[in-house]
């Protein structure tokens, strides 16, 4: 029996009135990591680089992703920042984001919030998703990109989510970059991240 396809939905929001981030570079690094992976044929990658709150629900329903990766800004209150119809920043309600994945995220096993101060949103999402990665405080752009690259390299080699997370933090430290301790892994109650295998053995 062949392995099922792992759908990754990459969502980026870089509002024009916020500090510009290297979100294109992050997407490229993730795709390069997956293309070089042993299990590259088992991953599909979709992306939206100007995601608005009014399109988020449609994207999740349409793509039915196994992994959702959000790259962008986080507010100090722990909420994610999206774009409005004019490309300006709008802060999302944390509970509503979590509820979206309760209602429409039955296939989503991992959510990565590569955004500053996203730990609180990660905690809310972990009530409905097996594993969620967030950032404890503000993380430098270069460190966030390095973490993402290493995370998907490990996932592409069949690592469970806990091992991939640990390897990604170690990679940031190995590169001498600041903030290796800032990514945090939240687990759904009763579902250890070490048991979350996105690519189980054939």
Q: Residue range 84-102: average pLDDT?
A: 92
**Dihedral of alpha carbons 121, 141, 111, 126, sign:** negative
Structure confidence by residue, pLDDT tens digits, 12-59: 887 766 665 656 789 999 999 999 999 999 999 999 988 899 999 999
Task: For residue 181, tell me if it sits in a domain.
Answer: yes
Task: For residue 201, tell me if it sits in a domain.
Answer: no
Q: Give me the long-range contacts of 29-33 (CB less than 8 A, separation at least 24).
A: 29/145, 29/148, 29/149, 30/69, 30/148, 30/149, 30/152, 32/149, 33/149, 33/150, 33/152, 33/153, 33/156
Residue with tokens 């301790």: 181
Phi, psi torsion values for 17, nearest 5 degrees: -100, 15
Task: For residue 200, tell me if it sits in a domain.
Answer: no
Instruction: Quote the CA–CA distance of 42 and 197 in Å, as a whole number.
Output: 13
Task: For residue 81, tell me if it sits in a domain.
Answer: yes
Q: What is the pLDDT of residue 77?
A: 85
Residue span of the structural domain in which 130 resides: 6-195
Q: Residue range 169-181: average pLDDT?
A: 98
CATH number at residue 51: 3.40.50.1460
At CA 44, angle to CA 40 and CA 46, rounded to 5?
140
5 burial level (CB within 10 Å; 0-12, 13-18, 19+): exposed
Task: For residue 202, tell me if it sits in a domain.
Answer: no
Task: For residue 183, tell me if it sits in a domain.
Answer: yes
Task: For residue 167, tell me if it sits in a domain.
Answer: yes
Domains contained in the chain, number: 1
Residues of the chain with pLDDT > 70, as a percent, come to 93
pLDDT tier, 3 (very low <50, low <70, confident <90, very high otherwise): low
């Amino acid at each position: 029996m062949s392995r099922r396809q792992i759908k990754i939905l990459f969502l980026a929001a870089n509002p024009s009135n916020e500090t510009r981030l290297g979100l294109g570079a992050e997407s490229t690094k993730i795709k390069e990591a997956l293309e070089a992976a042993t299990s590259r044929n088992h991953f599909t990658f979709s992306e939206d680089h100007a995601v608005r709150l009014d399109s988020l629900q449609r994207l999740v329903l349409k793509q039915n992703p196994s992994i959702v990766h959000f790259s962008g800004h986080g507010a100090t209150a722990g909420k994610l920042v999206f774009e409005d119809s004019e490309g300006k920043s709008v802060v999302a309600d944390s509970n509503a984001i979590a509820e979206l994945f309760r209602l429409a995220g039955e296939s989503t096993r991992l959510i990565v919030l590569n955004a500053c101060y996203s730990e609180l949103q990660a905690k809310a999402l972990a009530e409905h998703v097996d594993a969620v990665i967030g950032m404890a405080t503000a993380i430098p752009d270069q460190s966030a990109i390095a973490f993402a690259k290493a995370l998907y390299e490990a996932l592409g080699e069949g690592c469970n989510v806990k091992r991939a997370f640990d390897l990604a933090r170690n990679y940031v430290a190995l590169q001498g970059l600041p903030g290796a301790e800032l990514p945090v892994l939240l687990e759904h109650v009763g579902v250890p991240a070490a048991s979350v295998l996105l690519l189980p053995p054939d």
